[in-house]
Chain A
Amino acid sequence: GAVVSQHPSRVICKSGTSVKIECRSLDFQATTMFWYRQFPKQSLMLMATSNEGSKATYEQGVEKDKFLINHASLTLSTLTVTSAHPEDSSFYICSARTGLAGGQGTDTQYFGPGTRLTVL
C-alpha cells in the first residue's frame, strides 16, 4: 500500500518550453501533496505544499508563476515548470500524505520515484 507514482520519470526539453510532471497516489487518497527538488548529492528542498482543491503554498524563494501546481483531485497533483531554463534542470520529487492513522491524528508521507528534468 501507499504507492506514489510520477510521470514522466525522465524528460529532456529545450529552453523556453514548459514541462508538466504528474504525481499520483495509487492506492490512497492524498489530501496533501508536497513537491521537492533535489540537486546532485544534496538533500531535498521543499518547493511547495499542495492541498486538494485549494491554492498551493510555496516556500520562500520559489517562484509560483514559474512552478505552477495544481491539485485537482485527491489522487493527482501536477507541477508545471514554465519557460524552463537550464538552471531548472534537477530531480523533482513529490510526496503524498496518507489519511489519519489509528486515531492518533498523525499521518505519514510517501515519496514518488522522482522525475529527472534536463533543460537544454
Chain B
Amino acid sequence: GENVEQHPSTLSVQEGDSAVIKCTYSDSASNYFPWYKQELGKGPQLIIDIRSNVGEKKDQRIAVTLNKTAKHFSLHITETQPEDSAVYFCAATQAAGNKLTFGGGTRVLVKP
C-alpha cells in the first residue's frame, strides 16, 4: 500500500518568513495530493491540492509543487503570519475520492 512520509515534524519560523514542508510517497500510481491544515481541536481543512498532470499550483501565499519522478511534493507558505500556526498534513491517493494516506504531520509555529 501507499506510504507517505512528511518532514519536518515541527517547524518554527519568524513572521514574514517562508515555510516549506516536504512529503514523499511510495506508490507511483498515486495521482492526487491534498494538503490539510488542522487547528487545535478542529477537523482538517483542505488548503490546496494538486493532481499529477501539473507540477505546481499556487493560491495566494500557498503553493504546492509535485515531482512525480522523484515521488515527492512540497507545500510552500510565503509571508507567514501567526494565524498560519497549525498542524499541516499531506496526503496521497490514487484518485481524489479514494482512501487518503496521510503523512505524519508538521506542527508549524509562526513567531510574531
Contact = CB atoms under 8 A, between A and B. Distances in A.
Interface of A: 4, 6, 32, 34, 42-44, 46, 49, 93, 97, 105-114, 116
The dominant DSSP class at the B interface is loop
Contacts of A46: 99-100
A111 B49 contact: no
B45 interface: yes
B99 A108 contact: no
B104 A114 contact: no
Given A109-B34, A109-B96, A111-B46, 13 more contacts: A43-B102, A44-B44, A46-B100, A93-B43, A97-B97, A106-B97, A108-B34, A108-B49, A112-B43, A113-B42, A114-B41, A114-B42, A116-B41
B89 A106 contact: no
A31 to B, nearest CB: 8
A43 B96 contact: no
- Pick the most buried of B43, B46, B97: most chain A CB atoms within 10 A of its CB: B43
